[in-house]
Amino acid sequence: MDIKTEQFVDVARKELKNDRNKQFLGVLPYGITISRQRSMQTFADPEAANDYGRAIRAEVIARLSELLEEFEKNAAANGAKIIWAETAAEANAFVLNLARERGVRYVTKGKSMVTEEMGLNDVLQENGIEPFETDLGEFIAQQLHRPPFHIVGPALNIPVEEISDLFIAKADMKEPTTDPVKLGYAARLYLRDKFHHLAMGITGVNMAVAETGSIINVENEGNIRLNKSSPRIQVSIMSLEKVVPTMADAMHMIRLLCRNCTGQKLSAYVSIDSGPKKSDEMDGPEELYIIILDNGRSKIYQDQQTREALRCIRCGACLAACPVYCKIGGYPYGWAYSGPMGQVLSPLLIGLDRTHDLFHACTLCGACKQFCPAGIDHPKMFLYYRMLEAQADTEQKGDFIPDKPAKLFDLWSWGAARAWRWKIAVKTMRPMMNYHAKDGVIRKTVAPLYGWFRTRDLPVMAKKTFHDRWTKIKKSR
Amino acid sequence: MSQRAREEILGKLKGAPKAKTVPRPYVPPLTELSWNGEQLIANFTQNLTAQTGVVHRVKDSAEAKAKLAEIFAEEGLTTIMASTDAVVAPLDLRAWGKEMGVRVLTAGDFADRDAYKNAVFTEVQAGVTGADYGVAESGTIGLIHDRNQPRLISIAPITHIALLPVGRLFPVYESVTERVFGDKNKLPGQFTFTTGPSMTGDIQGGQFKGMHGPRKLIVILIG
Ligand code: SF4
C-alpha cells in the first residue's frame, strides 16, 4: 500500500464533498458509539474495567523487553519458531523466502494491520505469489485498491452496486445483486476454495501471552480460524507491543477490545494457539512461525512520551469518537492507520515530516482519550509532536518544517519588544488586513497569514486604534 | 537475520530510559462469579441467543440424540462430520445415523489430511462437536482442539452443533483459562472460544451470518 499521508488536506477536502460518505458518516459513528457505550455498561464497574485495562497496557510498555523474552521462551518451548525482524523489509523477505522454499503459489491472509504497514501484499504479488485477503472488508478494499475507510470495517462505505460489479469481475459471481447477503455469500464461495487448498496462511496477532507463549486472534468471520486450521504452514505476525503478561490479562483486554470494537461482549471467535499441531492431530499447522516485528518501535520506545503510542490495541473506539474522522472518513489519513490512533501512530512510524497535517488536524477536544481503553492521551501526543516539530527534532524527523512560522514569530517578538515598533506595526498592518475586506468582514488576507483565514473570518478592523481614539477624545474634552 | 535483529531490538528496548511500574488498581469485580447453576444456564442461554446462537436444553444423552434427530430433520442434514471427544464419542452417532439415514463421518475415517479436508470443506453439511467448556458471562463455548476434536469440524461446515454438559459451564473466561492454560506442559495446540455463528457487517454495516464459518450455531445443553 502506498503511503499517502502527505495528501491529507487534499483528500479531506475531496471527501468533504463526497455525499455518499458524508451520509454514511452521518449515522455510522453514532451507532457504533451507542452500542459501545451500551456494552461497556455490562461491566459491573465500567470505570474500574477501563482503569485496569489501562494499567495492563502501561505495565506492558514498562516491562516490554522482559515480557518479549518470556513470550519468546515459552512460545519456543511450545514448538513455535520465533523470527525477529527489525524492519518491514526483513519480515517481508522472510515470508517471501518461506513461501518460495515451500513452493507456495498463493497465500490467504487474516485481517492484520501490521501486514498492511509492512506492505506485504505488494511484495508477495510482485514476486509471483498471490495474496488473498479473506476478511470480507479487506478483500473488497484489496480488490478496489483503496486504503481502509475504517480500521475495523475497511470497506464499510463502498456501495453495494460497486461491490456487485467487483465480484462479477473478480470473484466469479454470476448475476449482479445489491443484496449484501448474496454478495457476502459470493465472497464465501470464492474464498472457500482458496482455504480448502491452502498451503500457507498468514495472520496478525491481537495478543501474545508471555506467561504461556500463546498467540490470540479475535474475529467474527472465522476467516482467521480457517487461515490457521487448513494449511500446513502458519505465519503469524505481531508488532512487538502486542505482548501481555498473563492469560488473565489477555482475557480482560479481550473483554475491553470486543466491547470497544463492535459492541459485543465477545467476538464470534477467539482462537488461542500454543505451538503447532500435535503429531496425532488431523488439521492445524505443522509449522508455526511467529514474526516479532519492530519496524521503528524500539526507536519510538526511547522516548517516554512517544512510547505511549505503543499502548494501542486497535479497537477503533477513538475513530467513532473523533469529530474530525466523523466528517472525513478514513481515506485522508492515507495509510493503514486512520482516525486518532492513526494520527498518533503514523507520525512515529513514518516521520513527522510526512505526517504534518495528521497531527495538526485536531482541535484537542479529547473525545478519543475519554474512550481509549488502552489509556492513550491523544491530544497530549499531538501537542508533543507539534513541540518536536517546533524544536526541529531530528529523531522523529521534525526538522523538515520550512522556517516560515519560526521567522514570523521572530519578527513578532522583535516588533513586540519595543513600544514604538509595535505602534508602527499596528498602524501599517491595519490597511493591509482590511485590503480584502468586504461587507464588514475579512475573509482573506495577504501572505503569509492567508492560511489562518482558510476556515475563519474576522470582523473588519477599525480604521483607528483604541489608543488613537482615546487620545482624541481626551483632547476634545 | 533473526538473531542479529533480536539482539538489536532487545538491546534498544533494554537501553531505553526506564519507566516506573505503577501498581495496578484493584481487579475489577466479576459479579458473574456469584452465579449458581441455574443462573449460569440462564445467562449462558441469554447471552448466546443475543448473538443469534440457538440453545436447547435436554436432560440426558438419550434426549440429546432425540434433539439431534429433530434438528437434522428440520435442517435437512444428511451428511455430517462428528468429533470423537469425550462428549460425542459415547453417543455412538454412527450407529444412530444409520437408523436415521444420516451419514456420520469422523476425521479418523480418512487416510490423510487432504481427503479429510475434501470432506469437511465440500461434503458435510454440519459439524457435531462436544464442548469442553461453556462460559456464562458471554454465552461462549470453549473447545480444546486435539486428535479427537479437529479444528475444521467446528468452522468449515455451514452448521455447527455443539453438545455441552451443564457441568462444564463456568461463570467467566478466567475460570476456563486457568484450567486449560494452568499447566504449561499440557497446553493444547489450539483452544477456541466461540460465541455465535460466523458473521460480518462489512458491507454497509448490514449483518450477514455464515461469512466463512457456520451460518448457524446450535448448542445442546445436557443436564
Ligand atoms: S488509540 Fe485507544 S481507542 Fe484508539 S484504537 Fe487504539 S486503543 Fe482503541
**In ligand 1, which atom is closest to the CA atom of A319?**
4
Give the whole-angstrom CA distance, residue A274 versus residue A209.
Answer: 10
pLDDT greater at residue A132 or residue A437: A132
Residue after which a domain boundary falls, among A283, A298, A313: A298
A-B contacts (CB, under 8 Å): 280
Distance separating alpha carbons of residues A253 and A374, to the nearest angstrom: 9
Query: Which of A260, A310, A348 to probe ligand 1 with, by most ligand atoms within 8 A of CB?
Result: A260
Do residues A345 and A313 touch, judged by C-beta distance below 8 A? no
Residue nearest to atom 6 of ligand 1 (CA): A312
The CATH code of the domain that includes A85 is 3.40.50.10420
Pair A288, A414 in one domain: no
What average pLDDT does this structure show over B158-186? 97
Of the pLDDT bands very low, low, confident and very high (cuts 50, 70, 90), residue A452 is confident
Task: Say how many Å lie between the CA of residue A29 and the centre of ligand 1.
Answer: 15
- Record: contact A281-B147, CB cut-off 8 A: yes
Of A79, A109, A116, the closest CA to residue A3 belongs to A116
- What one-character-per-residue DSSP string does A103-142 give? T--EEEE---HHHHHHTHHHHHHHTT-EEEE-SHHHHHHH
Positive or negative torsion for Cα A26, A32, A33, A38: positive
- Nearest residue to A135 (alpha-carbon basis) of B202, B121, B210, B159: B202
Determine, yes or no, domain membership for A220: yes
User: Which atom from ligand 1 is nearest to the alpha carbon of A313?
Assistant: 7
Please name the residue that has the C-alpha cell 436447547.
B56
Interval A195-219: pLDDT, tens: 999 999 999 999 999 999 999 999 9
CB contact under 8 A, B145 and A43: no
- Give the residue carrying C-alpha cell 502486542: A242
Residue A453 pLDDT > 90: no
pLDDT of A423 over the 70 cut: yes
Average of per-residue pLDDT values in chain A: 93
pLDDT exceeds 80 at position A325: yes
pLDDT of residue A89: 97
C-alpha to C-alpha distance for A340 and A458, rounded to whole angstroms: 30
Q: Is the peptide bond before A405 cis (omega within 30 degrees of 0)?
A: no
Rounded CA-CA distance A61/A67 in Å is 9
- % of chain B at pLDDT higher than 70: 100
A35 at B interface, C-beta within 8 A:
no
How far apart (Å, rounded) are the C-alpha atoms in residues A247 and B174?
Answer: 8
Q: Are residues A116 and A249 in the same domain?
A: yes
Arithmetic mean of pLDDT over chain B: 96
- Whether A313 lines ligand 1, by a CB cut-off of 6 Å, is yes
Same domain, yes or no, for A288 and A408? no
The separation between CA B188 and the C-alpha centre of its own chain, rounded to angstroms, equals 14
Residue B211 grid cell: 461469512
ipTM over 0.85: yes
Q: Is the CB of A374 under 6 A from ligand 1?
A: yes
Per-residue model confidence (pLDDT) at position B21: 81
Question: Does any CB of chain B come closer than 8 Å to the CB of residue A96?
Answer: no
Contacts for B158 with CB less than 8 Å, ≥ 6 apart: B125, B126, B210, B214, B215, B216
Give the domain extent around A271.
60-298
CA distances from A404 to A215, A361, A362, A449, B138 (A): 49, 19, 21, 11, 57
Which chain B residue lies closest to A187 (C-alpha atoms)?
A: B211
| Residue A55 included in any domain | no
End position of a domain, from candidates A254, A273, A298:
A298
Residue A222, domain member (yes or no): yes
Mean pLDDT of the A347-351 span: 96
Whether residues B121 and A195 touch (CB distance < 8 A) is answered with yes
pLDDT digits (tens, 9 = 90+) for A374-413: 999 999 999 999 999 988 888 888 887 666 677 888 888 9
- A7, pLDDT greater than 80: yes
Q: So what's the pLDDT on residue A406?
A: 75
Domains in chain B (CATH in brackets) are: 35-222 (3.40.50.10420)
A437 or A215: which leads in pLDDT: A215
Kindly state whether residue A344 falls inside one of the protein's structural domains: no
Calculate mean pLDDT across residues B26-35: 94
- CA separation for the pair A430, A461 (Å, rounded): 7
Residue A292 sits in the same domain as residue A412: no
- Inside any domain, residue A319: no
Counting ligand 1 atoms within 8 A of each CB, the residue from A151, A253, A312, A378 with the most, and so the one to mutate, is: A312
- Tens of pLDDT along A98-118? 999 999 999 999 989 999 999
Question: Are A130 and A254 found together in one domain?
Answer: yes
Residue A77 placed within a domain: yes
Given A281, A298, A315, the domain boundary residue is: A298
Asked whether A318 lines ligand 1 (CB < 6 A), one says yes
pLDDT-derived band at B223 (thresholds 50, 70, 90) equals very high
Domain match, A264 and A140 both? yes
A69 and A208 together in one domain: yes
Overall pTM > 0.90: yes
Tell me whether residue A37 is in a domain: no
What is the number of structural domains in chain A?
Answer: 2
Measured CA angle at B114 (ends A268, A186), to 5 deg: 50
DSSP letter, residue B198: -
Q: Is B183 on the interface with A (CB under 8 A)?
A: no
A77 close contact with B: CB closer than 8 A: yes
Q: What is the mean pLDDT of residues B162-181?
A: 98
Q: What percent of chain A has pLDDT over 70?
A: 99
Is the CB of A207 inside 8 Å of chain B's CB atoms?
no
Which grid cell is A423? 505602534
Provide the CA B77 distance to its chain's centre, in angstroms. Answer: 20
Is A159 within a domain?
Answer: yes
Q: What is the dihedral of CA A60, A300, A207, B29, to 10 degrees?
A: 40
Alpha carbon A353 to its chain centroid, in Å, reads 17
Half-sphere exposure of residue A242, counting CA atoms within 13 Å on the CB side?
28
Contacts of B142 in chain A (CB under 8 A): none
Please answer yes or no on whether B28 and A292 come within 8 Å at the CB atom: no
